[in-house]
């Protein structure tokens, strides 16, 4: 089957508040979390949900989401309630949810859990952990990784989480950026902190269920746009990752330095050639659009 997995993983031990004591309120809240995140990424949804807890519950849940989360969530979207034995997609969702239970539930985890995680990882787009932990503690490395810098990791993750929370996927570009950010944190959490993920691997995930596939140039443009917004992304020939060391940031800056400085010097050589040929009558850098670049060239000189 052609499917992808997005899941919400709840740590019940960290839930506090009167509302969480009541099953109906608890399910409404958690379903709201799930559909709010899906809507942020996919504005038009066709939802097929299990008749969990009875038809009355799902009907009331639909109204609850409309009133309390996103008023136009189901505007122009289909909301189908099915018994699981009638709908293959619902059965699949049940199966995947059960598998996630064997990966994250402390009462179910065993020696096979890592194998389950490996088996579903090619289909996994993102896992949203709740309550969210904006600390880097869940991502920290053991003492054998002496280069790990919790300050770098924390600022990198906080900027990513902030972007995910505040961005609505109302365009394909924003949806691609959101999905890339989710993949970046997912790989950061599941892989070793030194491991980079290749551009090809990211592109393969981003192209799931897309009619027009992303190419390498468009993917590079997504990275550049996110960096323009202050998102820290470490890169090397091996791929991309969440920065967790000063060395990774230096490697990125060093790569930029190796491209930018030689390029500016070549531009300066072009400028000098024109000045020489025109007996200093024409400075190509005097154009208004080149003011900032001219300042950079003078500093380099």
| Cα–Cα distance measured from residue 126 to residue 179, given in angstroms and rounded to the nearest whole number | 8
73-126: per-residue pLDDT in tens?
445 455 566 666 678 888 898 899 999 999 999 889 999 998 998 898 888 877
pLDDT at 63: 66
Q: What's phi and psi for 279, nearest 5 deg?
A: 55, 45
Helix (H, G, I), strand (E, B) or coil at 283: coil
The string over 87-118, giving b where at least 16 C-beta atoms fall within 10 Å of a residue's C-beta and e elsewhere, is: beebeebeebeebbebbbeeeeeeeebeebbe
Which sign, positive or negative, has the C-alpha torsion 173, 159, 5, 118?
positive
Same-domain check for residues 1 and 111: yes
pLDDT, average across residues 248-257? 87
- Whether the pLDDT of residue 222 is over 90: the answer is yes
For residues 187 and 21, the model is more confident at: 187
Query: Is 37 domain-assigned?
Result: yes
The position carrying tokens 């365009």 is 171
Question: For the chain, what percentages of helix, strand and coil (3-state, to nearest 5) are there?
Answer: 60, 10, 30
pLDDT, average across residues 185-203? 82
Query: Is 106 domain-assigned?
Result: yes
pLDDT at 116: 93
Tell me the Cα Rg of the chain.
24
Same-domain check for residues 152 and 123: no
The position carrying tokens 């090397």 is 236
DSSP 84-136: GGG-HHHHHHHHHHHHHHHHH-TTT--TTHHHHHHHHGGGEEEEEEES---SS
Q: Domain residues for 176?
A: 148-244
Mean pLDDT, the chain, rounded, equals 79
Query: Is 252 domain-assigned?
Result: no
Same-domain check for residues 61 and 177: no
Asked, as a colleague might, if the bond just before 131 is cis with ω within 30 of 0, I would say yes
Which sign, positive or negative, has the C-alpha torsion 39, 45, 49, 54?
positive
Q: What's the domain count of the chain?
A: 3
Query: Is 81 domain-assigned?
Result: yes
Query: Is 166 domain-assigned?
Result: yes
CA-based nearest residue to 129, from 7, 31, 41, 5: 7
Q: Which residues pair with 8 in a beta bridge?
A: 128
Query: Is 178 domain-assigned?
Result: yes
Tokens of 237: 């020939």
pLDDT at 99: 94
Same-domain check for residues 10 and 102: yes
pLDDT at 265: 85
Same-domain check for residues 153 and 70: no
Cα–Cα–Cα angle for 17, 18, 19, rounded to 5 degrees: 95
Query: Is 142 domain-assigned?
Result: no
- Whether the pLDDT of residue 218 is over 70: the answer is yes
Same-domain check for residues 155 and 223: yes
| Cα–Cα distance measured from residue 298 to residue 301, given in angstroms and rounded to the nearest whole number | 5
């Amino acid at each position: 089957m052609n499917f992808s997995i997005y899941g919400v993983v709840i740590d019940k031990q960290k839930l506090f508040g009167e509302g969480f004591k009541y099953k109906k309120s608890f399910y409404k809240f958690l379903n709201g979390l799930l559909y709010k995140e899906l809507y942020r990424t996919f504005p038009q949804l066709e939802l097929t949900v299990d008749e969990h807890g009875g038809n009355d519950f799902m009907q009331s849940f639909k109204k609850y989401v409309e009133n309390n989360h996103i008023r136009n969530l189901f505007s122009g979207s289909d909301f189908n309630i099915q018994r699981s034995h009638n709908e293959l997609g619902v059965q699949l969702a049940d199966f995947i949810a059960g598998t996630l239970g064997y990966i994250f539930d402390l009462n179910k985890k065993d020696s096979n859990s890592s194998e389950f995680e490996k088996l579903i990882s090619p289909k996994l787009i993102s896992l949203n952990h709740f309550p969210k932990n904006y600390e880097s503690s869940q991502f920290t490395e053991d003492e054998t990784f002496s280069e790990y810098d919790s300050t770098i990791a924390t600022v990198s993750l906080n900027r990513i989480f902030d972007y995910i929370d505040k961005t609505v996927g109302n365009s394909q570009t924003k949806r691609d950026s959101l999905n890339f950010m989710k993949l970046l944190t997912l790989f950061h959490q599941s892989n070793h902190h030194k491991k980079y993920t290749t551009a090809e691997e990211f592109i393969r995930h981003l192209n799931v269920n897309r009619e027009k596939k992303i190419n390498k140039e468009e993917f590079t443009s997504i990275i550049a746009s996110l960096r323009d917004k202050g998102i820290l992304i470490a890169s090397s020939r091996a791929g991309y990752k969440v920065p967790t060391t000063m060395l990774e940031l230096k490697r990125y800056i060093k790569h930029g330095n190796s491209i930018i400085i030689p390029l500016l010097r070549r531009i300066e050589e072009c400028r000098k050639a024109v000045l020489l040929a025109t007996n200093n009558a024409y400075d190509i850098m005097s154009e208004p659009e080149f003011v900032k670049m001219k300042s950079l060239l003078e500093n380099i000189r």
